[in-house]
A and B are shown apart, each in its own frame.
Chain A
Amino acid sequence: MNGPAPAPQPSAHLASGGASPALLEARSLTKRFGGVTALHNVSFDLRPGEIHALCGENGAGKSTLIKTLSGLHPHGSYEGEIRLDGVEARFRSLADADRAGLAVIYQELALVESMTVAENIFLGRERRHGPWIDWARTHRDAATLLAKFQIDIHPETPVNTLGVGQKQLVEIVKALSKEARLLILDEPTAALAGAETGILLRILRELRAQGVSIIYISHKLNEVMSISDRITVLRDGASVATMATAETDIPSIIRHMVGRKIEDLYPRTRTLTPGKEMLRVEHLTVAPKAHAPACLHDISFSVRAGEVLGIGGLMGAGRSELLLHLFGAWGHRTSGTVVLQGLPHPSPTPATSIQRGLVMVTDDRKRFGLHLDLPIGTNLSLSSLHNVTRGGRLDPVAEEQINQKFHAALQIKSPGLWARAGSLSGGNQQKIVLGKALMTAPQIVFLDEPTRGIDVGAKLDVYQLINRLTAEGKAVVLVSSELPELMGMSDRIIMLHAGAVGGVFARTPFNQEELLAAAMGQR
């Protein structure tokens, strides 16, 4: 580690055409939760018509900062001052901030699944005709808004039929329909595929041109570089640096974020010879349920001990479905065989898979990975309770010990094992999910987007973990939508296209164009 953090240099006026007065300004914000200081003397400013990116590792204080700015942590619960248009703003709630023209789009979507796009956009501000809802106007206004941003979704589409990316776009349109002049986006592209990200970034640029100010939080630094005007980096609750995007580059952002230089983003150490075959899949065809048309077709591959098999493909290519099916949590097998450690694995359930040494870390950790309102300890040991049960009774001492061991080994930052899993940052939550999986002492580990939405430092920890697993002779199957990650960490790669194998690539160096061509089915 190097010396003390660089001194905060808030709102350093840079050579961007003089000092336009700040639209939103935070002056030495300090926010404490009990004994934990989440924000320490943070200063931040947002100019009119600017896209200001907020970067930092998980737990650096980004979420706390936007929650404080947007009134979720009400005035009086923090120290310091928030000024809007040069006047102190004392938001008591999100609604206050909303009225002041500030809209926040959180990572978790807040749409009502059973309603249509138009209903969602105007939820709470229904277009009325007397006491009745004016449906004609609702649909017309929604269509106008969608057209304005060139989003090709029909306003009467039920939201539950949309993909994640489309939902994200609807969410953004909803915020814009309130004519917000200040937009805060928290990891908006975490779940988006390339094309949708493109649409989103285009919309943001248009908004900027119209004078809307935007605070943009993302772990995807190339996005940050391409869209933002300025970048503020938070670390350990303090604002470490504010830089003009044009005058900086990704390595220096990362350096500010982690406080150290990252030599290699994908530190894969490869074992020379893979060991015995751990999992073999032959001509696997799977349908979502019995008597439905198949959506995985004739897939064959095998994984060996000490090897990382990467699985890539576009959204909807069937990557997650394939892993979930082999793990026993999805689909109906119409044909094909699966051999797990030399024995057939005909109709798996998660319980039997775990018993046989196959474990999975799913991509949606809040939905499938964690019990957010239960303590960290309970989450960690949940899949391994049989190991700490003596004569039918849980042994609290043994359980606490093994939990402590994994808590320390994975470097989970938390107040203690008793803390609620939901109170931790994304990276630490992901470490809990990984810890739960590894505690079962697996031989084969499925990782579905294990670094989604987590910061650079936590990503490195995950990569090191993959290295450790393969060094111990375990097999890893890695699904990722980030090609650099897939190429950097995999020993072999299978690209899926429309539920079938689009191409198999052995050994490095991988060629990005070839992989993409396979994902598009052009091979």
Chain B
Amino acid sequence: MTTTAPATSAPGSPAPAMTGSPLRALTMPAMLLGIWVLFALLSPQFLSARNLSMLMIELSATATLAVGVLLVLLPGHTDLSVGAGAGLTGGIASVLVFQHGWPAPAALALSFVCGVVLWSLMGLFIVRNRIQAFIITLGGMLAFKGAFWLVIRSATVPVARGGESNLYAAITTYYLPAWAGWSLVAAVVALLSLLTLQGRRRRTAVGAALEPLEMAILRLMVIAQALALVVLVCSDYRGLPLAFVILCLVATVVHILTRHTPFGRYLYAIGSNEEAAVVSGIPVQKVVITAFTLLGGIVAIAGFMSTAYAGASTTTVGDLMELDAIAACVIGGTSLKGGRGTVLGALFGALIMASLLNGMTLLAVPPELKMIVRGLVLAVAVWMDVRLGSAQ
């Protein structure tokens, strides 16, 4: 019998339709664990503090971009131009710093604005003219690549003037000292505890269903331990990489946007059924343009990271990054049709891709083979996702 009983079982738990089934949710951690165990067995260096710190920095650019791309994948669009855009925005900042002597913060700010403007225009164009994002961003990919090469005159432009260091270079070379890392963890855990407590008080006050206190405490402890582990490993090398902190910030912002605001809800609704979204009074065009605009800013941030990591703007910065970002989202359970996907999933997907690349580099796997393995992993991950999805 069906009943109208209130959902006493799992208050506040994420809606299954948005996150996929529990079985599905376990495939990614299992896959990641498998990859890590494999590399740890094959190469003792893989789990060293130094390599894990490197992995975190390598992860940062792709994962940041993946989290951004998620914003346009959710409403059922796509973006092939983010890789070329990352190169372009990184290149603009490099040229301003190295050739025009701008202070790094100003150069980064202007380049960031460029990203935002370009993507809001693309979003506007896609939405107003009802042209598929695939086509417009394919054009964007070519145009941005060309613009990028024009900006750097197809040369190599360092991110800092000879020998000096600046904010730009520091993005991937600065490490937060141990004390800062620990205080950050403490602050985050304290904030989460406070929010949990507030939420519970609110629910008690209005008589809504509560999850058991033990569950809440357990969850907080798992989060605290995971964060502590990251800081602990990092403190064995140079500290918490700044790039990783930036990734965490971007991911947190997008997570809050997608899960805790009407805007985020609308992204899912548009991806799930755009016509019904319109009739429900959702300003579909505005929401999609906003998603592209936000993506533009994130592309710039990812561009700064990947350029800083390379140490200079060269013609190849950003190559294939769009595919890595989309692959990360898809491995993380995002539907290319829209309406399904999470930030956490995209992060997991990016971590799987970055771990593969890092591990294979350690093992000196030839680049040809690396490409093939990454392609196969993408295909297998999506296949498993589909299989487990249809088994429900």
Contact = CB atoms under 8 A, between A and B. Distances in A.
A413 B2 contact: yes
A329 B278 CA distance: 8
B2 A59 contact: yes
B333 to A, nearest CB: 14
Interface stretch (B48-56, B247-255, B258-266): B258-266
A383 B7 contact: no
A418 interface: yes
A414 B2 contact: yes
Contact of A36 (B2, B13, B203, B206): B2
Given A377-B15, A397-B208, A369 B281 contact: no
B275 A367 contact: yes
Given A389-B262, A401-B206, A416-B5, A350 B16 contact: no
Contacts of B15: 374-375, 377-378, 418
B7 A418 contact: yes
Given A350-B278, A351-B282, A374-B268, A386 B262 contact: yes
Contacts of A396: 12, 199, 260
A369 B269 CA distance: 11
B128 to A, nearest CB: 14
B273 A371 contact: yes
Given A350-B281, A394-B261, A397-B208, A370 B7 contact: no
Given A393-B261, A394-B262, A373 B279 contact: no
Interface in A329-367: 329, 349-351, 353-355, 360, 362, 367
Nearest to B11: A400
Contact of B16 (A351, A392, A418): A418
Nearest to A354: B281
Nearest to A393: B260
A372 B271 CA distance: 11
B10 interface: yes
B206 A397 contact: yes
Contacts of A235: none
Contacts of A412: 4
A59 B1 CA distance: 10
Interface string A412-444: 111111101000000000000000100010000
Interface residues of B, number: 41
B276 interface: yes
Contact of A368 (B7, B10, B16, B275): B275
Interface stretch (A224-232, A262-270, A275-283, A403-411): A403-411
A404 B6 contact: yes
Given A397-B208, A414-B4, A374 B261 contact: no
A151 interface: no
A37 interface: yes
A37 B279 CA distance: 35
Given A329-B279, A350-B279, A375-B17, A394 B340 contact: no
> Which among A37, A383, A440 has the highest number of chain B CB atoms within 10 Å?
A383
A contacts with B: majority SS: mixed
A411 B273 CA distance: 25
Given A372-B273, A385-B265, A393-B261, A436 B280 contact: yes
B215 to A, nearest CB: 16
B105 interface: no
B272 A374 contact: yes
Nearest to B13: A418
Interface residues of A, number: 51
A370 B262 contact: no
A370 B5 CA distance: 22
Interface string B1-44: 11111110111110111100000000000000000000000000
> Which among B10, B16, B276 has the highest number of chain A CB atoms within 10 Å?
B276
Interface string A31-59: 00000110000000000000000000001
A370 B206 contact: no
A382 interface: yes
Nearest to B10: A418
Nearest to A355: B281
A397 to B, nearest CB: 5
B339 interface: yes
Contacts of B5: 416
B261 A373 contact: no
Nearest to B340: A373
B15 to A, nearest CB: 4
Nearest to A327: B279
A371 B202 CA distance: 29
B269 A400 contact: no
Contacts of B177: none
Nearest to B208: A397
B339 A353 contact: no
Nearest to B203: A397
B37 to A, nearest CB: 35
Contacts of A386: 262
Nearest to B262: A385
B389 to A, nearest CB: 11
B101 interface: no
A367 B203 contact: no
Contacts of A378: 15, 17-18, 265, 268-269
Contact of B273 (A370, A400, A414, A415): A370
Interface string B265-297: 100110011011111111100000000000000
> Which among B10, B202, B262, B282 has the highest number of chain A CB atoms within 10 Å?
B262
A46 B4 CA distance: 35
> Which among A360, A362, A371, A386 has the highest number of chain B CB atoms within 10 Å?
A371
Contacts of B4: 407-408, 411-414
A383 B272 contact: no
A404 B260 CA distance: 19
Given A397-B202, A408-B4, A382 B279 contact: no
B255 to A, nearest CB: 12
Contacts of A372: 272-273
A369 B3 contact: no
A354 to B, nearest CB: 4
Given A389-B262, A400-B11, A408-B4, A383 B276 contact: no
B206 A415 contact: no
A269 B84 CA distance: 65
A373 B281 CA distance: 19
B17 A374 contact: yes
A414 B16 CA distance: 15
Given A394-B260, A400-B208, A401-B206, A415 B2 contact: yes
Interface of A: 36-37, 59, 236, 327, 329, 349-351, 353-355, 360, 362, 367-375, 377-378, 382-383, 385-386, 389, 392-394, 396-397, 400-401, 404, 407-408, 411-418, 420, 436, 440
11 contacts: A372-B272, A373-B339, A374-B18, A374-B272, A374-B339, A378-B15, A385-B265, A392-B261, A396-B12, A411-B4, A440-B281
Given A397-B208, A415-B2, 6 more contacts: A327-B279, A370-B276, A382-B277, A394-B262, A396-B199, A415-B3
Q: Which 7 A-B pairs have the closest CB atoms?
A: A354-B281, A385-B262, A416-B7, A371-B272, A375-B15, A351-B281, A368-B279
